[in-house]
Structure 1
């Protein structure tokens, strides 16, 4: 009798449990439901093991190298030479400011304590720390007896007026104003380079712990309000490590949103189903998938970072959406009188392939991110793919098995049947949606969609790659980090946005006249680029020292042709600034200090530097891009620009193939794809309107939206095509699709949006951006599917013969009544 039941018929002949053949259905179905206890025990064991792994081995951290596009030539050049360029890598800049001036003895005492504390901080490259209190910050002058110099801080400094005057003189002679001393003499900077690994443990630096150390041992201890006549002391800290630390701290707040998202999902599903037990199972199975994900990720040794921390939210939301579809099918079947076990098996038959295809599409949306050679994005792709794979077991298999035991409340089952009246019609909204199968309504919907898409296409032409705001765009503009960054940029001539071109030569080659002249030409070319404040390289110091050797005569403010003069100038320059070249003088950076790291600024600088390098590089002298924070940002922008369209092509190609496998109809694939493409275009237009650039944080959004958004079409079209195969008209087929899966498609859209909309309030701006964009994509894909699928079907799938051979049900062994 079971073989004669059409699973898509809203009023099938209902067998009793005794009449149901347990050996019916596919081999997979029999393996699962004829061994339900084994399935539950295995899932329980896996959950326990993975929970232990997640609790004991999961870490929350990020490394400096993880955000670098490893295979890009610029980054390869930087990594090959980073040991020679300690001042251009991962470093902190800590500014100690006062309301008086830096010559106040109390200020200097505080500065010394801070400098000493930082030198002893784990992970700091102590030999390269620079401040007014380190001997590496020096002054030089020319006297009748030749060059004289020494540390800026007098050896016998004791805070006395005489020592203070000597300090003032040394600062004036050193040329460090704007570099290590604020332009208004009310602050000074401590430069703190960091190592990649802790030499004591060999482990990567824990940036969260380092950030907390800076807050507790530096900011909390030494900041002063100026009470009781003491000077006010303010501390400003910037650098990659501090940024990551602040992001990780922000993650703690974001995690509280997980509970809120779970609560919203619970309430939405409970309102829809009015069944507490099944709603709790949907939430529990989705949370189990997240637990499996975290355990597997921990087992593989992947840490969670601020970029991938949002993935568990997505996995949970996706799990809830698929779980709601399974629950809805079982509720409806039980409402028609089926036993809960039979209902669970029929729902499994109807929706397993659709759910599996949808989950594979979700996984593809994540997996294509692997093409981006940025470890942090690849880790996100792996983490997400693992979580989505877990949903196959927890929500497509375990949930129906559990519901086959628990069932649903009788009241919820009766209510699901009462919602359909005697004519098979549902509420006013669903009747309105069914009108889009008619020609007049279909044409109107397609015209509106075409207008919106055209407007979106014009707007998306203005989409920018990279950061569009000053400071750290990962954080809010009013965050402590960005306020610190703004203060430093306002009071120091040399900004934190450094773009360095490395001049690579043979040993001692950077001292040769022609090399210095070519580097000087590069520096001049960069100075002409809008957005470049100034440039610094060895030739600047050589000029000053050469002129100083000739009584400061401005005629000698040049790069001399005499090699002995150049050698002497470089030797003197290295005393005060060893960062100007490496030990054997084979690498010399030309550093441009930029006004910001906006995409337009970086594009201009890269164009000028790359053009110069191509025209002037020789076998003896190579100009290699790029080092410095701005150089790394520029390389990242290039990788993101190249990957942006490639990712969309890959994800669309994969989804099209999956839909072809599922539907076996190019017409059905077109119907499924058009709403997705429209939403992708509108999402990019929204990014333009909101001033959001395409960068590491937002690049995954559109790919994820496509992979997850196709779920709606898969569930709706699978039911519609099955009905058309059975001979129903398009209007009847779509009406039944709305009855069986359409309501849950709307529920899924709301649930997914509720799972990510809370990100909008995150203190981490790129997470807030992702929340806005994903919420838009989930809702837009849902609305587009409910309206455009019937409208497009009117022109492409109206003839049931065109859809007849392509239903999922036909490949699962079903026949019509």
Structure 2
């Protein structure tokens, strides 16, 4: 391996002008492509399309258009109810504007101003009815009075009209493909259009509230500008701290520049791969920057030490490359392969994140192991930086004084005892970790965000919750309206309405029972399903077309929930599954589940299963690479156990802070492991080199601390400071990720500096070699000049 490293070194530095020219051209090309990257999002990408529930929904996607990906626009009159001419004129014009928004499924749009919303009543002459808006409506008081009456008879109070009659809903089903462009629906553009409409109509006591998946995504994309601000802040903090660490402006500039080149390459390659940046992968460029800086610090530290020893810039760059090429390669491979393991989660948005992170690590291999050494061979470390380094070398570094003790028996035992204590606390507290959302509304956004305030208004003023679960009742063709089927549906509805967390239910059976009462002069004694199929057919005929498909082989059972919190979904799903398993009806199948709550339940199911698979894969990959590199089980234990402790404590922290494991947070666990393993690999590579030539564990660890240990501590603290600023973000999931990554950066650093040497002492790594021969002294001198 050493011969191969030396051969690569000769080729790299021997043809460095050609290599640099190629890199420069590639950077220009990829920078152009990076400028073309745009925020993107897709409803289908954010759901587990292979899950049984989602497959059931996709089978009936057209029939359930209004219950799938949709937006609710609510217009509220703060100065009275909706039954006045001026407000109704605003509703009419708003209805027309919303109708013509590109991407809206116009055939499924609903409001009291659309022709598919009707009223009906029973008179002595039979049923009469019509559209809610009177055909001769002209804004006069008589037509307004008829409108009020029609609304009351339509059954839409609590659904399309607020319970207090002060607001009304426009339900906008969305297409996945924009028919005007032939491209996936642009949620950012849709959100901007809705915001323009909001600002246009919010005058003179009128308020507009907007909810729905598309609006959440639009708000997240709008927050991308703030992500850029935090990214720039992190760059500034990193630059300042790196300068304080090295006291060398040129090496600081080169390191940060190479890290930014890695980000440019990553974004350019993503564009070439046909990917954009969705709300969940927008933070990946910062992680790429962080990893690049982490590895760059190791290299400039090694080059600085060699220049302080009297080597010229190019020779120092060669020696630094030779010493760190293998550990750097292994660490980056661990990062990249660890990120690839996210692909076991069958949710495309997470798989895209895995691709983005893996591509980023791949380009770091080129920018940090090729571009950075070449640039440093020309610039070297400034005289001021070398002077500072020599001054630091003349005294024992603080980090050596603080952490070298953990390789001694007394401190090692204390560290191990504390580690076991933390493990016990983490395992206990981690039992409270929940899968899915733990907050109402959109947990990706702050509780006081405009979206969550809008959602709270809808929840408080409408019977129809924004959290809907749909069961698809499947039957043979033309059997969905039979007494046999509707009786089974009615029994299930009665049971479901008693489940905690369920507000109400709705199906064609509900409508049929009301119609039967109407056909019998409104006598409540007839409130039930008639076994007479002719009577039942007449009642079912009153149901809107959306309540059964064209072949009468499927009817939706709509369940309105209090919220979509993990506990609510678990309770409802478990209860329905148990009831339908016991109360089976021949020829009737209750298929779970559509609606936003049904999709959320499917997502939670996939996340729960995949989180342990992901951890097994990421730790398996890292363990194999570490074992192949060091060929030692003891070494493997020393590097992996501190990482595992960080993961366990990270899950305990999530449970304590009320952060659920979901699409936005699950990748953080793998990202933390991928980045954290670098610390252990760099420290152990130096520790191992000293142990091989005869140092005892304590002396070998002191050397590792004085060389790579300082860089590890600096990197951990710097990256933690950079990401902790995210807690100020208005996007809650970014704040959660910032908090989690801060914790993982710090704990992974402490694990490498404290627990790694303590485990090495426990496992007697290297033995206790106090006697060193003259030949060994010669080898030690060679290591001092060739390893950093």
Alpha-carbon distance in 2 for matches of 1:25, 1:549: 89
Alpha-carbon distance in 2 for matches of 1:24, 1:89: 57
The match for 2:776 is none
Alpha-carbon distance in 2 for matches of 1:109, 1:659: 70
The match for 1:449 is 419
- Is the aligned partner of 1:745 residue 2:718? no
The match for 1:119 is 99
> What stretches of structure 2 of length at least 5 have no aligned partner?
773-778
- Is the aligned partner of 1:733 residue 2:713? no
- Is the aligned partner of 1:565 residue 2:535? yes
- Match runs of 1:366-765 below 5 Å: 366-421=339-394, 426-574=396-544, 578-616=545-583, 620-765=587-732
Give, in angstroms, the shift of residue 376 of structure 1.
Answer: 0.5
1:265-320 per-position Cα deviation (integer Å, ceiling 9, x unaligned): 11111001011111101001000011010011000101110000000000001101
**1:525–1:608 CA contact under 8 A, matched in 2:** no
Alpha-carbon distance in 1 for matches of 2:577, 2:346: 21
> Judging changes above 3 Å, is the alpha-carbon distance between structure 1 residues 487 and 286 closer, same or farther for their aligned structure 2 residues?
same
- Is the aligned partner of 1:46 residue 2:26? yes
- Is the aligned partner of 1:156 residue 2:144? no
The match for 2:85 is 105
Give, in angstroms, the shift of residue 816 of structure 1.
Answer: 9.7
The match for 1:68 is 47
1:636-688 per-position Cα deviation (integer Å, ceiling 9, x unaligned): 00001001111111111111111101111110111111211111111111111
**1:119–1:126 CA contact under 8 A, matched in 2:** yes
**1:727–1:800 CA contact under 8 A, matched in 2:** no
Query: 1:233 pairs with 181, 188, 206, which one?
Result: 206
Query: 2:109 pairs with 119, 122, 129, which one?
Result: 129
> Judging changes above 3 Å, is the alpha-carbon distance between structure 1 residues 308 and 730 closer, same or farther for their aligned structure 2 residues?
same
Give, in angstroms, the shift of residue 427 of structure 1.
Answer: 2.8
Alpha-carbon distance in 1 for matches of 2:194, 2:584: 43
**1:314–1:756 CA contact under 8 A, matched in 2:** no
1:355-410 per-position Cα deviation (integer Å, ceiling 9, x unaligned): 11111111123111101110100000001100111000001111011101111101
**1:705–1:778 CA contact under 8 A, matched in 2:** yes
Query: 1:222 pairs with 176, 195, 201, which one?
Result: 201
1:697-742 per-position Cα deviation (integer Å, ceiling 9, x unaligned): 0001111111110111000000001001011111111111011100
> What stretches of structure 1 of length at least 5 have no aligned partner?
1-6, 8-22, 227-231, 805-809
Alpha-carbon distance in 2 for matches of 1:147, 1:516: 22
Alpha-carbon distance in 2 for matches of 1:428, 1:476: 41
Query: 2:225 pairs with 229, 237, 252, which one?
Result: 252
The match for 1:184 is 164
Deviates further, 772-781 or 79-88 = 79-88
Alpha-carbon distance in 2 for matches of 1:157, 1:523: 38
Deviates further, 341-350 or 474-483 = 341-350
Deviates further, 557-566 or 393-402 = 557-566
Partner SS, residue 495 of structure 1? coil
**2:468–2:598 CA contact under 8 A, matched in 1:** yes
The match for 1:17 is none
Alpha-carbon distance in 1 for matches of 2:500, 2:27: 57
> Judging changes above 3 Å, is the alpha-carbon distance between structure 1 residues 466 and 25 closer, same or farther for their aligned structure 2 residues?
closer
Alpha-carbon distance in 2 for matches of 1:802, 1:139: 92
Alpha-carbon distance in 1 for matches of 2:619, 2:4: 36
Alpha-carbon distance in 2 for matches of 1:684, 1:599: 17
Alpha-carbon distance in 1 for matches of 2:552, 2:325: 66
The match for 1:774 is 741
TM-score by length of 1: 0.93
Alpha-carbon distance in 2 for matches of 1:509, 1:47: 64
1:413-462 per-position Cα deviation (integer Å, ceiling 9, x unaligned): 132122123xxx62344213111111111111111121122112110011
**1:128–1:193 CA contact under 8 A, matched in 2:** yes
Alpha-carbon distance in 1 for matches of 2:490, 2:215: 34
- Count of residues in Structure 1 that have an aligned counterpart in Structure 2: 776
1:68-117 per-position Cα deviation (integer Å, ceiling 9, x unaligned): 10111001111111111112111111110012111121111111111110
Partner SS, residue 223 of structure 2? helix
Alpha-carbon distance in 2 for matches of 1:719, 1:726: 11
Give, in angstroms, the shift of residue 475 of structure 1.
Answer: 0.5
**1:609–1:625 CA contact under 8 A, matched in 2:** no
- Is the aligned partner of 1:93 residue 2:60? no
1:532-585 per-position Cα deviation (integer Å, ceiling 9, x unaligned): 0010010000011111111112232111112222221111112xxx32112222
**1:500–1:627 CA contact under 8 A, matched in 2:** yes
Alpha-carbon distance in 2 for matches of 1:618, 1:523: 14
1:5-63 per-position Cα deviation (integer Å, ceiling 9, x unaligned): xx9xxxxxxxxxxxxxxx9952222221111111101111111111111223x221101
TM-score by length of 2: 0.96
**1:93–1:189 CA contact under 8 A, matched in 2:** yes
Deviates further, 27-36 or 265-274 = 27-36
Partner SS, residue 480 of structure 2? helix
**2:695–2:769 CA contact under 8 A, matched in 1:** no
Alpha-carbon distance in 1 for matches of 2:86, 2:723: 50
> Judging changes above 3 Å, is the alpha-carbon distance between structure 1 residues 343 and 800 closer, same or farther for their aligned structure 2 residues?
farther
The match for 1:4 is none
The match for 1:197 is 177
**2:488–2:585 CA contact under 8 A, matched in 1:** no
The match for 1:271 is 244
- Match runs of 1:20-35 below 5 Å: 26-35=6-15
The match for 1:323 is 296
The match for 2:775 is none
Query: 2:263 pairs with 290, 303, 315, which one?
Result: 290
Alpha-carbon distance in 1 for matches of 2:736, 2:309: 45
**1:24–1:30 CA contact under 8 A, matched in 2:** no
Moved over 6 A (4+): 801-804, 813-817
> Judging changes above 3 Å, is the alpha-carbon distance between structure 1 residues 598 and 802 closer, same or farther for their aligned structure 2 residues?
farther
Alpha-carbon distance in 1 for matches of 2:485, 2:732: 44
Alpha-carbon distance in 1 for matches of 2:785, 2:124: 107
Alpha-carbon distance in 1 for matches of 2:591, 2:468: 15
Give, in angstroms, the shift of residue 619 of structure 1.
Answer: 6.8
Partner SS, residue 172 of structure 2? strand
Alpha-carbon distance in 1 for matches of 2:73, 2:562: 19
Give, in angstroms, the shift of residue 614 of structure 1.
Answer: 3.5
